[in-house]
Amino acid sequence: MDNPTDLTAWLSLEWFMPSSWKAFTWENPAFLWGIGAVPLLFLFRWLWRYRFNQKLPVAMTQKDLHVSPLTLFRLLPEFLLMFAMVFICVALARPQRTNEKVEQWTEGIDIMIGLDISQSMEISDLVPNRLEAAKDVARNFISGRLQDRIGIVVFSGDAFSLAPLTTDYDLLKSYLNEINFEMIETRGTAIGSALGVVTNRMSESEAKSKVCILLSDGDNNGGNIDPITAAELAAAYGIKIYTIVVGKEGQVPAGKDFFGRPIMMDNTVDETTMRKIAKIGGGEFFRATDNKALSQVFTRIDQFEKAEIKETRFKDTYDYYFVYLQWAVLCFLLWLAMKSTFLSNVLQD
């Protein structure tokens, strides 16, 4: 719609369209009842005049009686006055339009995901195996974050930073897709080394909250840094550590033989070390023995580590009462002009 502050924009008939009125909010909606009262007032006025105005009997023959459309013009001044009063009611109701803009932001959290890619993560007690199940829930976790910087560290017998802290979630997901068991040649599970790399990556972070999610089968047997010492160092830098042990203990499937039968092997899990790491890091320890449990663990961590979302609202309110006030003045001036014309008086008489 045209800007009503323009000199001629108020003349547009679009101001009377239902779509325009639906877009309005009304500061004084009670005056809208006057729109319905105005026609009733004029109807009462016409009935009063018809009943009590002086009438002069005139004798005329039937052939002298003619009905002409011109006689309807005598009603035009009355309608102009009626519309002027209707427009005054609309103006008094004060139609407005409000444009609301909402800005959301958060200070964000720095999160490093430490992902075990040792050979034991190839065990298929989770579907299709432990590593792929972990990658899947990690992708979902990343998708649910807002403005948080996230990085990835992978480890087996050694550890390295796969992705630095970033808000490019598509890039992180592409890195997750490329993770495989051949990325690190050194065999074993170096949990201490992984925590060391995480601490190095987050040591210069100025985020209000720094979090490490360490996911492994829990049996540290590699690297040259003691996991407990590495956890204490991470805690000194204000890094909260959540530890997740994936997989079952005892007999677990480790592939299939030539005939398609599952090959079972013994699996042990060092929960004690992972529990100590979580306690030192001020986080929590979790155990996930299947895909559903692993997904629930990441959901819980997602709920724990939510940054406060701040919101600012801007409202721009525009008044449009003067549009209808100008129409009221126009109708009133036309009523004054036509009321005083010779034609109107003749038709009225």
Q: Is residue 77 a contact partner of residue 348, using CB atoms and an 8 Å limit?
A: no
The answer to whether the beta carbons of residues 126 and 246 sit under 8 Å apart is: yes
Q: What are the pLDDT digits (tens) for 144-201? A: 888 899 999 999 999 999 999 999 999 999 999 999 999 999 999 999 999 999 999 9
For residue 345, is pLDDT > 70?
no
Give a yes or no: residue 29 inside a domain: yes
Q: Is the dihedral of CA 156, 162, 167, 173 positive or negative?
A: negative
Domain-embedded: residue 3: no
Residues 214 and 245 in one domain: yes
Mean pLDDT for 92-104 is 78
Backbone angles phi, psi at 149, to 5 degrees: -85, 130
Between 62-66, 204-208, 248-252, the lowest mean confidence (pLDDT) is in 62-66
Give the mean model confidence (pLDDT) for residues 238-261: 81
Task: Say yes or no: 211 and 76 in one domain.
Answer: no
Is residue 192 assigned to a domain? yes
Give the pairing of strands 210-216 and 239-246.
parallel
SS3 state of residue 13: helix
pLDDT exceeds cutoff 90 at 228:
yes
| CA distance linking residue 104 with residue 204, whole number of Å | 26
Residue 250's DSSP bridge partners are 267
155 has which bridge partners? Answer: 116, 159
- Number of domains the chain is built from: 2
Comparison of pLDDT for 278 and 91, the residue scoring more: 278
Is residue 61 a part of any domain in this protein?
Answer: no
Pair 294, 331 in one domain: no
For residue range 111-146, list pLDDT tens digits in order: 999 999 998 899 888 989 999 999 999 999 999 888
User: Do 271 and 334 fall into the same domain?
Assistant: no
Ranges of beta strands (E only) in 167-249 are 210-216, 239-246
For 25-67, what is each residue's pLDDT tens digit? 888 888 888 887 888 877 777 777 666 655 555 555 555 555 5
CATH no. for residue 194? Answer: 3.40.50.410
Give the residue carrying structure tokens 């500061």: 27
N-terminal to C-terminal alpha carbon distance within the chain? 44
Q: How far apart are CA 327 and CA 306, in angstroms?
A: 55
**What is the residue range of 273's domain?**
108-308
Q: Please indicate, yes or no, whether residues 94 and 239 belong to a single structural domain of this protein.
A: no
Specify whether 185 is located in the same domain as 117: yes
Instruction: Mark whether 46 and 152 lie in a shared domain.
Output: no
Domain membership flag for residue 134 = yes
